[in-house]
Amino acid sequence: MRVNIVDTSHVGSYCMVTTNPATVAGQRAPTSPPMSSTPNKKRRRYGSPVYISSDSEIDIKSDIKSDYAIRMPQATPHATMQHRTMDDDGSDDFPDSLRKLLDPIKRATTLCQGLLFDVEREKIRRFAQYDPTHRRNFEECYKHDALFINTFADQFDPVHLHDHIQYLEPTFVAFILDQARQCDEYFHPEDTWNMMVRYPLMRTAVMGDIYEHGVYRKGKPLLRVVPCTTASLVATYKSHDAPAHNVDFAIVLEPKPATAAAARIDARREGMPGLSINHTDSAGLLNRPIVISVEAKRANDSSEKARVRLMAWLAAQWAKLESMTDRPPEILPGVIIEGHDWYLVVSTREKDGKKFLWHKHHFGSTSTPLGVYKISWTLRYLSRWAVDAYWVWFQGHCLGPEE
């Protein structure tokens, strides 16, 4: 088997593309990982938590093997969230639920296996011939067979596959690249990055063209991307010594209005703090469960601040979920964006109530076409997990019984 190396120098790493489709085809991404499972015991990683105070000027050590922690709200048992690096080294404390979520993402974004649909190949090739700039930028997106092994698409019944196909038009990818380049070159602030690049990309990847294919499909909830930079936490779930705790975006589940699921959410949030199904009382988030949280920064801003802010937000979300059920989920995904680069972070909960923030896996960049396609793939995969796994769990454990 011959291996080609596709340069992704924006992060100082490479994307390995195998040219033997038969080999690649044997590795299939699961449809949606289960919400709970039992990890295989191997060896343990060591580390002591360092508590983060509310002082925004604290000097946070950057040793990659350190464990950071943030105090959870007083109402929550085991009131710490520790930081762990997202390197699956076989330790027995690397959760199996996280491994099942992460492995397909790593396969698609690091090995570039099954990143694109076959129907996209000719469209990208034609677009790449439009002018020399496109030819140089998009060439790596259509030349390698492994990119088009349908490890994502073949999980569906072929009859219904068209319901799930959401791919980016090359013209839209070029638009995102141009917008991101402008933000970078002109040193635009975070809000401008969010408006010009991040929201359009997330909205298109997560929601697709909902007005062409239908807003609510087969009774499943709609996923929406909600900007929430001004959303504040409900005091009941707020960590008392945490730094600033709002995030930039929330990906939420929105059941169809006037359905049993929508009615159960409204009934459940009556009497809850802030009349909210979530840990924030922001108007747009009162009745739409948050499933993925996104914190964004400029490239030169502190990545530690983004991490700590997301930890505080997720700590409040854990407190909310634990107040609703005695069987919380095992994982809560999040995304940190730093300039061009997008990272997956995941908070996990063990059976004894201990929480960890696993940080971080780079899954794409808005500096290259292939990087944009990687972002889209990962967001679509997380969206499927949100509907197929998290929504099923949420209905079963956080809402009252169906009438």
Domain residue ranges of the chain, discontinuous segments joined by +: 3-21+66-397
Q: Which residues contact 262 (CB under 8 A, 6 or more apart)?
A: 255, 256, 287
Q: In this structure, what DSSP letter does residue 255 have?
A: P
Q: In this structure, what DSSP letter does residue 151 have?
A: T
| Pick from 115-124, 148-157, 219-228: least confident | 148-157
pLDDT, residue 135, reads 79
E strand or H helix at 206: helix 199-207
Q: How many helices (H) does the chain have, and how many strands (E)?
A: 12, 11
Q: Say whether the peptide bond before residue 42 is cis (omega within 30 degrees of 0).
A: no
Between 355 and 58, whose confidence is greater? 355
Average pLDDT, the chain: 79
Between 88 and 217, whose confidence is greater? 88
Question: What is the separation, in whole angstroms, between the first and last Cα of the chain?
Answer: 57
Token representation of residue 210: 């909902």
| Pick from 239-243, 308-312, 365-369: least confident | 239-243
Q: What is the pLDDT of residues 178-187, one digit of tens each?
A: 999 999 999 9
**pTM attached to this predicted model:** 0.80
Q: Which residues contact 147 (CB under 8 A, 6 or more apart)?
A: 17, 112, 113, 114, 115, 116, 141
Q: What is the pLDDT of residues 63-121, one digit of tens each?
A: 333 344 555 454 443 347 898 999 877 777 789 999 999 999 999 999 888 888 888 88
**How many angstroms separate the CA atoms of 78 and 351, rounded?**
11
Token representation of residue 262: 């929508």
pLDDT band at 150 (very low <50, low <70, confident <90, very high): low
**How many angstroms separate the CA atoms of 290 and 277, rounded?**
9
Q: Residue 25: is its pLDDT beyond 60?
A: no
Query: What mean pLDDT do residues 236-250 have?
Result: 83
Write the single-letter amino acid at 151: T
Between 292 and 160, whose confidence is greater? 292
Q: What is the pLDDT of residues 195-208, one digit of tens each?
A: 999 999 999 999 88
Q: Residue 157: is its pLDDT beyond 90?
A: no
Which ranges constitute the DSSP H helices of 69-131? 96-109, 118-128
Mean pLDDT comparison of 50-54, 55-59, 252-256, highest-scoring range: 252-256
Q: In this structure, what DSSP letter does residue 305 have?
A: H
Laid out side by side, the sheet with 355-365 consists of: 49-51, 67-71, 80-85, 355-365, 341-349, 331-338, 290-297, 249-254, 222-227
pLDDT, residue 235, reads 92
pLDDT band at 212 (very low <50, low <70, confident <90, very high): low
Say if residues 335 and 344 touch (Cβ distance below 8 Å): yes
Between 220 and 372, whose confidence is greater? 372
**How many angstroms separate the CA atoms of 17 and 112, rounded?**
6
pLDDT, residue 381, reads 93
| Pick from 41-45, 232-236, 259-263, 319-323: least confident | 41-45
Closest CA to 399 of 330, 320, 325: 325
Q: Residue 226: is its pLDDT beyond 90?
A: yes
Between 360 and 5, whose confidence is greater? 360
| Pick from 94-108, 235-249, 364-378: least confident | 235-249
Between 20 and 327, whose confidence is greater? 327
